[in-house]
Structure 1
Amino acid sequence: MKPRSVREQVSAEEWAARVDLAACYRLVARMGWTDLIYTHISMRVPGPEHHFLINPYGLMFDEVTASSLVKVDLDGKIVMETPYSFNPAGFTIHSAVHAAREDALCVLHTHTAAGMAVAAQKGGLLPISQHAMRFYNRVSYHDYEGIALDLDERERLVADLGDTYAMILRNHGLLTCGRSVAEAFTIMFYLQKACEAQIAAMSSGAELAMVPPEVAEHAARQFERGGEKSANRPWEALLRTLDREDAGYRD
């Protein structure tokens, strides 16, 4: 008898989450935000169990599919049969956020050049571009402690994250979370753009034009009015692009 597919073994809600997460992996690859097979995006599985989905260790992001995602619990145990394993460093960071934040349904972590460059700067993200304004006093920081393999780092990481949706991991990279895959991806898109703009502006050697604090705060509040819904429109457009060019992520 033919073995049941992953789709046949999970709820409709979990399958929808798997498709969204697989799409996010493909989009991150298209954006050039990958670091070979490293870094991670995770998604909380809908339902009462504290399970989440993460990428199969060894696959490139443009190879990830809805069926290949690995389901694990907060103790790092794989809870659904799979031929794949997962990266323990990814488990440390992502399990910490998922356990501490009920609203963090999706967590996205990158090692981009611009993100690492800003993470290496003592002043962090500066209010010098419109993209950066949405993070004014709304981005957190976590000091580097080495490769994220030590489980006791989780407590310090989530304490530093607080109630923010964007974090700069000093000397490491960027992290965003959201109430949906769409929101986590959109926040990362703008955080990445803000970092790219900062590095480009600083590399010119010209004096930087700093926005007054009251204006930066006003702009940040303007961005907040859009809420989670502001992520859905670009996300739907991105999915249409993926479906036109390669819908294999849905497998």
Structure 2
Amino acid sequence: MTAMSIAPVNTRELSESSAEAETRLRRELAAVYRLVHHFQMTDLIFTHISGRLPGPDHHFLLNPYGLMFDEITASSLVVVDLDGNLVKPSSGVNVNPAGFVIHSAVHRSRQDAHCVLHTHTRAGCAVAAQSHGLLPLNQISMEFYGRVAYHEYEGIALSKAEQVRLVDDLGDLPVMILRNHGLLTVGLSPAQAFLRMFYLNRACQIQIDAMAGGSDLAIPAPEVAERTARQFEGADTGDDFTDPIASSLAWQALQRLVDRTYPDYAD
């Protein structure tokens, strides 16, 4: 069982200085950018991944507009405030306006949204175009059973007024399908947000493939789907075994992949 939502990963040391925390977050976030590239979940220079910096200023890290995800390094990430301003303006550096609108809204409203990840994958956009949304067709899909928010399409996300509706629709759920648009996940860390996105996108891929087969779909009973989602969360379901280290081990493996394949990400 690939229980990816059992527990947050990469817990922070209380003694960590703000400078050390920013360095660590920059490297984790840059690693996630490279992983999104590696697993072909990019849309050229578009979409975005943000990470909230520790401290009272409500600043977050975001990719500079114009770089491909395989070009992102820890030092290239820019610091943005909740009004969309670069904290340290630099000539030639810009931020995707839609990235600011979506990410600042979620960071502002969700204290647990330390990382926000948004994609326009082919499978994610395909499911976002289906009126029934994500179906519990597979064990991977059932991780998200009853835990997916939906936000109706209003055009390119350039309106501040849409922020209110977006965060209202998201509520306290971990993932969202933006109708006719794409996918969004939040996490206590970049690692958790990425693992949620990896499996949300995989669930969408499975759904499109299953529906393309032309046969009747086998959908488990609601109580089975809900029990499976609770197992992924590590809830007490009376099972003989649990797997509380699954997400940590998965992230460690992914970190090794990035270190091995894209060693410049930490620069």
TM-score range, shorter chain: over 0.9
| Per-residue Cα deviation, 1:97-148 (whole angstroms, up to 9, x for no partner) | 0000000000000000100000000000001111110111000100000000
In structure 1, the partner of 2:184 is: 175
> Is 1:75 aligned with 2:83?
yes
In structure 1, the partner of 2:35 is: 27
With the length of structure 2 as denominator, give the TM-score of the two structures. 0.88
User: What pairs with 1:157-236 in structure 2 (closer than 5 Å)?
Assistant: 157-225=166-234, 230-236=246-252
| Per-residue Cα deviation, 1:156-192 (whole angstroms, up to 9, x for no partner) | 0000000001000000000000000010000011101
Amino acid at match of 1:233: L
How many residues get paired?
A: 242
In structure 1, the partner of 2:113 is: 104
Task: Report the Cα offset of residue 234 of structure 1.
Answer: 1.1
Task: Report the Cα offset of residue 239 of structure 1.
Answer: 1.1
Do the aligned partners of 2:147 and 2:173 also contact (CA within 8 Å) in 1?
Answer: yes
One of 222, 236, 243 as aligned partner of 2:259: 243
3-state SS of the aligned residue for 1:67? Answer: helix
Amino acid at match of 2:131: K
> Is 1:137 aligned with 2:146?
yes
Counterpart CA distance in 2 for 1:62 and 1:82 is: 21
Amino acid at match of 2:57: E
Counterpart CA distance in 1 for 2:100 and 2:246 is: 29
Task: Report the Cα offset of residue 207 of structure 1.
Answer: 0.3
> Is 1:11 aligned with 2:19?
yes
Higher relative contact order (CA 8 A, sep 6+): 2
Do the aligned partners of 1:17 and 1:43 also contact (CA within 8 Å) in 2?
Answer: yes
Task: Report the Cα offset of residue 229 of structure 1.
Answer: 5.8
> Is 1:91 aligned with 2:107?
no
With the length of structure 1 as denominator, give the TM-score of the two structures. 0.94
What are structure 1's unaligned runs of at least 5 residues? 1-9
Task: Report the Cα offset of residue 231 of structure 1.
Answer: 2.6
Amino acid at match of 1:155: V
In structure 1, the partner of 2:10 is: none
3-state SS of the aligned residue for 1:11? Answer: helix
In structure 2, the partner of 1:127 is: 136
Amino acid at match of 2:86: I
Do the aligned partners of 1:183 and 1:228 also contact (CA within 8 Å) in 2?
Answer: no
3-state SS of the aligned residue for 1:187? Answer: helix
RMSD over equivalenced CA pairs, Å? 1.4
Identical pairs, percent? 60
Task: Report the Cα offset of residue 246 of structure 1.
Answer: 2.3
